[in-house]
Amino acid sequence: MQLHEVSGALGIVTGQALIAAPQAGWRIRVINLTISLGATAATVTIGFSTANQRVYQLGANGGVDAELMGWEGDTATALSITTSANGPCQVTVDYTIEKA
């Protein structure tokens, strides 16, 4: 079953979980990811680990809509976000939880 999560951050965040880690033996599979920024440019890093992440350099009032069909997370690991600048950042994720 496809799931949907919308999360917002107002300031600089480091490793804030967007989607909680599934139980052992399961992983998150990202289908679609949308990021919207407010009035401050920022680097937005979304990922499961340093080896399994996506980094977006976005301008003020910028955004990205990335179809990531099949981006498999690390087993039993949360999907997290880190931002480099203050300002509103909204992230929308469509995903499934599957057997690893």
Topology of the domain covering 3-99: Jelly Rolls (2.60.120)
Burial of 4 (0-12, 13-18, 19+ CB in 10 A): exposed
What's the whole-number mean pLDDT along residues 13-29? Answer: 95
Domain ranges in the chain? Answer: 3-99
Write out pLDDT tens, residues 33-89.
Answer: 999 999 889 999 999 999 999 999 999 999 999 877 789 999 999 999 999 988 789
- What local confidence, expressed as pLDDT, does residue 72 receive? 96
pLDDT of 9 reads 73
- What's the whole-number mean pLDDT along residues 2-26? 90
Count of alpha carbons within 13 angstroms of residue 80, beta-carbon side:
15
